[in-house]
Structure 1
Amino acid sequence: MSIRPWVIVEPPDGRGLRRVTIEGETVGSAWSPAELRRILGRHGYPEDMDLDDPASICWRGGDSRTWPDRAWRRRSITALMTAGLLMSMVFNAVIGWPDASGALTFAQRITGVLFVLSGVVLGVSAIAALDYWGRRQFRASGAIVLLGATIVLATDALLLLLWFEEREYTRYLLVFLPALPWSIWALCILVRQKSWKGIPRPKRFAVGVVATALLTAVSLAYSTMYQPAAAPMHFTLKAEFGKAWEDRNVAFVHVPLTLHMKNTGGIPVYVINDIYTVRGRGAAYSYGEEDLTTEWRNSVRKRGARDGEAELYVDQLTYTTISSGRFYDSGNSLDVGQEYVMKRVFQLPKGARYDTVSVALQISYMRKDRGRIDVDEFRSPHLSWNERERQHCPPAVCGEFLVYRGKVRHNNNLINVTRKPRYVTAVWAPEGRFISSISSFPFNFAGVGDYREERREMERYGAAGARADAEISVAELLRSAGV
């Protein structure tokens, strides 16, 4: 008969886990005598077996009372590590999914996909953490947890860097701010335990981590800086008067007006606000007794105006709004190469005391590769004279106009989670009030607000404007109508 014991309990490792072998074959590992009894019970040993019987069990590196495992510490680390990785998994998915599923540009979609994939890696890391602080049945579990903690540190450092640019409170701050010290704590533990030792080629693993980080950094830089700046913006706006015709039933002349807009640039846009205004100009004519500068100075003094229009034989200019309207509904988009044409007819009295008629077509827009407007909210106008509206202002004080307001989100969701919500506002009135703004503060009629922020946000979202003008003499219109 062999004198070799049937059961051998190996010395505890650094975590207090003792490997159990039966006849040279590893059958499990135990943290405590209770776990050892369960392992032996699965292999036919009695539950009340004497663990101190040297004929049955050989103890190496201690006896049946040598169990250095601190279960509370190990379980606490496992719980904190797993919870942090799972929370970061959800957070990265929340950041990446809007860009991965709905970003306009390919680079922004790639950035979103990278964040979603990093969330998948963090989920795998959470599972690996249970194994690494458990039985360690997979050799690479420690390296996977190390990769997950590195991703969390890199993501949170980037978010904190973006947050410092504005230092605004956002509910996401309650997630990524605590996650940063958590990632440092996790990395300290994993480095101290040399968790990468379980993988066959640790150098290749490190190179892969660095390459992934560099790819992510390049993609973020391209999507947030180079690509939005490189794509050009061009608009073609035209306003043309057609041939007028006389209405024999009334003393008016009907004047056709054609307005045309085309996106000739490389990026789709949202049209935030638009207006066309037809004005008639009246003037008192002189015979040029004075020079041009004197003529202009007198005109400015009499009208109280501050403009750059000067004519030698024309004085005392007055302008009357004849027609005004919307050209393109607020919040509608205009894709690359798309054009829009509108034809209108306005009426001009045959005896009108105007010498010329002019039209001004204005639009303000925002690049779709920089942001996305909540169109359903933005398209609903608010009446300034309605007392139940938040934008209410007495007509005697503010006049009467429409206010369009809606939330706008940046196409790079990293910016959305580090800043307060932004709102796009458009104000329109028939007499020519035409205001477009993007800011975090609510619209008000007192003119109170951080206009530096407003200008910065307009640039950040690529908001700009375009204008087209046309002018025709009333004499030419009447002649074309046969009057």
Structure 2
Amino acid sequence: MSIRPWIIVEPPDSRGLRRVTIGGETVGSAWSPTELRKILGRLGYPENMDLDDPASVCWRGGDSRAWPDRAWRRRSTMLLMVAGLLVSMVFNAVIGWPDASGALTFAQRITGVLFVLSGVVLGIAAIASLDYWGRRHFKASGAVVIFGAIIVLATDGLLLLLWFEEREYTRYLLVYLPALCWSVWAISILVCKKSWKGMPQPKRFAAGVVATVLLTAVSLAYSTMYQPASAPMHFTLKAEFGKAWQDNRLPFLHVPLTLYMKNTGGIPVYIVNDIYTVRGRVAVYSLEEGDPAAEWRESVGRQGAREGEAELYVGQPNYTTVSSGRFYESGSSLDVGQEYALKRVFQLPRNVGYDVLSVALQISYMRKDRGRLDVEEFGFPHVSWNEHEGRYYCEPAICGEQLVYRGRVRHNNNLINVTRKPRYVTAVWSPGGRFISSISSVPYRFSGVGDYREERRELQRYGAARSRADSAISVAELLRSAGV
């Protein structure tokens, strides 16, 4: 009858880890003889005991010199896994938090929440990777790690696809492009090691992973590529002249002007630029029936623009700007159902030579569900005639006197922001009627040179558009209302 030793060291597993049992009970596992002595020391065995004594230790699958673990390789792999998961965790949280906390639409908030939750999962996967390349106390640690690597592959792959649409350099490219390569490396290693082994009900786990990836992809595609058209923009604009009255002390008429605006659509907006212009018309009248087309051609050539009027008994109309000003504060928002009215009074001489007064009210706006405007930066105007304004300065002889508003705009889907260069909203206003609004990534220039295709694309992307209201009244009616 042989006496079996109490200490049994099992054969090394695929990682080189050897399980240690005493009396049929597992007391630990060791990567090396040093770790084996530590385990035995905690159990009261002498530190200098002879590990090769067959009466004390039984070696299975190799003697005391069979320790195939390569600690440096295992620890290096573990550190790279943990580093990649932690970097991706922070990056996903940075992407998702602005949308989860501040997006206006439900789909965009869901996208942000998904990215934040994926960051939480990646944090858990980073902890699980320590266990998977360590003692593997948890059977599901390998499955959690490969799930985290799949999340990195899916999210960074989507970011790269979005980046290819414009192919613009951003600093975030230095994060998600290496992370995408890391995910391919990590998944290949984990697949080779069959890290899902030991996971209870692996088929259900695989089905859950596939379902999660599909639902996430559909949600991201919906919020990223779908431009909401179910809530179109509608504005009510009015510009009307009131009853004039004469000034007994001065030879002038006071003409009231009422300007009105209401957001009757379903989406709040930023008012990017606005202007109202009152013009007086002087025309040549004739009882002879001329050629309206000829009058129109002459009007177009004289005004230097592709517009003009054609009237049978009225020719050679000339317009003079009588009054011009701002209506609303640039960068301010107009919520759904919100209205704004402004009353102005301008003066006309009693013997004014105009026959018709016309007023035009124009606004340019941007949908708040598409972008977020830096109101503090945009609300500060730059004057073009001040040399200290730097790139906004332009000689008055060339540009006249203009106000320039410029501020950063961020898309409400943060996936767009991390795959594009910064975009800026620019508004130019002058009392002479200059009224320009644009969205572009190029620096501001007075020369007007820019990528007009990009500007049109960005205006559409951010839901920017214009609205206008016109009104006219005869000067004779004004004089009669004033009793002149």
TM-score band (shorter)?
A: over 0.9
Residues 149 and 345 of structure 1: CA distance in aligned 2, closer, same or farther (over 3 Å):
same
Question: Does the residue aligned with 1:163 lie in a helix, a strand or coil?
Answer: helix
Post-superposition CA distance 1:156-194 (Å, at most 9, x none): 110111111111111011101111111001000111111
| Match in the other structure for 1:104 | 104
Contact 1:253 1:481 in 2 (8 A): yes
| Match in the other structure for 2:150 | 150
Matched, 1:321 2:321: yes
Structure 1: how far apart are the matches of 2:96 and 2:175?
15
Equivalences for 1:13-24 in 2 at 5 Å?
A: 13-24=13-24
Equivalences for 1:231-250 in 2 at 5 Å?
A: 231-250=231-250
Matched, 1:258 2:268: no
Per the TM alignment, residue 467 of structure 1 is displaced from its structure 2 partner at its CA by: 0.4
| Match in the other structure for 2:230 | 230
Once the two structures are overlaid, the 10-residue window that deviates more, 225-234 or 258-267, is 225-234
Structure 2: how far apart are the matches of 1:228 and 1:285?
51
Structure 2: how far apart are the matches of 1:289 and 1:158?
67
Residues 299 and 420 of structure 1: CA distance in aligned 2, closer, same or farther (over 3 Å):
closer
| Match in the other structure for 2:202 | 202
Once the two structures are overlaid, the 10-residue window that deviates more, 423-432 or 447-456, is 447-456
Equivalences for 1:44-193 in 2 at 5 Å?
A: 44-193=44-193
Contact 1:92 1:115 in 2 (8 A): yes
Structure 2: how far apart are the matches of 1:303 and 1:115?
55
What amino acid is the match of 1:389? E
Residues 132 and 253 of structure 1: CA distance in aligned 2, closer, same or farther (over 3 Å):
same
Per the TM alignment, residue 299 of structure 1 is displaced from its structure 2 partner at its CA by: 4.0
Residues 108 and 56 of structure 1: CA distance in aligned 2, closer, same or farther (over 3 Å):
same
Structure 2: how far apart are the matches of 1:195 and 1:300?
76
What amino acid is the match of 2:269? V
Could you tell me the percent identity over the aligned residues?
80
Per the TM alignment, residue 296 of structure 1 is displaced from its structure 2 partner at its CA by: 2.9
Structure 1: how far apart are the matches of 2:306 and 2:287?
24
Post-superposition CA distance 1:326-377 (Å, at most 9, x none): 1111110111111111111111111111011111000111111111011000
Matched, 1:476 2:481: no
Residues 462 and 302 of structure 1: CA distance in aligned 2, closer, same or farther (over 3 Å):
closer
Per the TM alignment, residue 450 of structure 1 is displaced from its structure 2 partner at its CA by: 1.1
Structure 2: how far apart are the matches of 1:349 and 1:87?
72
Structure 2: how far apart are the matches of 1:316 and 1:231?
44
What amino acid is the match of 1:319? Y
Question: Does the residue aligned with 1:96 lie in a helix, a strand or coil?
Answer: helix
Per the TM alignment, residue 291 of structure 1 is displaced from its structure 2 partner at its CA by: 2.9
| Match in the other structure for 2:31 | 31
Residues 322 and 311 of structure 1: CA distance in aligned 2, closer, same or farther (over 3 Å):
same
What amino acid is the match of 1:467? R
Post-superposition CA distance 1:91-138 (Å, at most 9, x none): 000100010011111110110000000000000000000000000000
Equivalences for 1:329-478 in 2 at 5 Å?
A: 329-390=329-390, 391-478=392-479
Question: Does the residue aligned with 2:387 lie in a helix, a strand or coil?
Answer: coil
Per the TM alignment, residue 298 of structure 1 is displaced from its structure 2 partner at its CA by: 4.1
Question: Does the residue aligned with 1:36 lie in a helix, a strand or coil?
Answer: helix
Contact 2:406 2:425 in 1 (8 A): yes
Per the TM alignment, residue 206 of structure 1 is displaced from its structure 2 partner at its CA by: 1.3
Per the TM alignment, residue 316 of structure 1 is displaced from its structure 2 partner at its CA by: 1.4
Per the TM alignment, residue 230 of structure 1 is displaced from its structure 2 partner at its CA by: 2.7
Per the TM alignment, residue 305 of structure 1 is displaced from its structure 2 partner at its CA by: 5.0
Contact 2:379 2:405 in 1 (8 A): yes
Residues 64 and 303 of structure 1: CA distance in aligned 2, closer, same or farther (over 3 Å):
closer
Residues 106 and 304 of structure 1: CA distance in aligned 2, closer, same or farther (over 3 Å):
closer
Structure 2: how far apart are the matches of 1:302 and 1:147?
71
Structure 2: how far apart are the matches of 1:294 and 1:445?
36
Structure 1: how far apart are the matches of 2:49 and 2:210?
53
Question: Does the residue aligned with 1:91 lie in a helix, a strand or coil?
Answer: helix
Displacement over 6 Å in runs of 4+: none
Question: Does the residue aligned with 2:472 lie in a helix, a strand or coil?
Answer: strand
Structure 1: how far apart are the matches of 2:237 and 2:210?
49
TM-score (normalised: structure 2):
0.98
Once the two structures are overlaid, the 10-residue window that deviates more, 186-195 or 287-296, is 287-296
RMSD: 1.3
Q: Please, which runs of 5 or more residues in structure 1 have no aligned partner?
A: none
Once the two structures are overlaid, the 10-residue window that deviates more, 421-430 or 277-286, is 277-286
Contact 2:299 2:308 in 1 (8 A): no
Question: Does the residue aligned with 1:265 lie in a helix, a strand or coil?
Answer: coil
Per the TM alignment, residue 419 of structure 1 is displaced from its structure 2 partner at its CA by: 0.9
Per the TM alignment, residue 269 of structure 1 is displaced from its structure 2 partner at its CA by: 0.7
Question: Does the residue aligned with 1:139 lie in a helix, a strand or coil?
Answer: coil
Question: Does the residue aligned with 2:93 lie in a helix, a strand or coil?
Answer: helix
Contact 1:228 1:370 in 2 (8 A): no
Per the TM alignment, residue 62 of structure 1 is displaced from its structure 2 partner at its CA by: 0.6
Structure 2: how far apart are the matches of 1:347 and 1:2?
121
Structure 2: how far apart are the matches of 1:363 and 1:215?
41
Residues 124 and 358 of structure 1: CA distance in aligned 2, closer, same or farther (over 3 Å):
same
Contact 1:303 1:317 in 2 (8 A): no
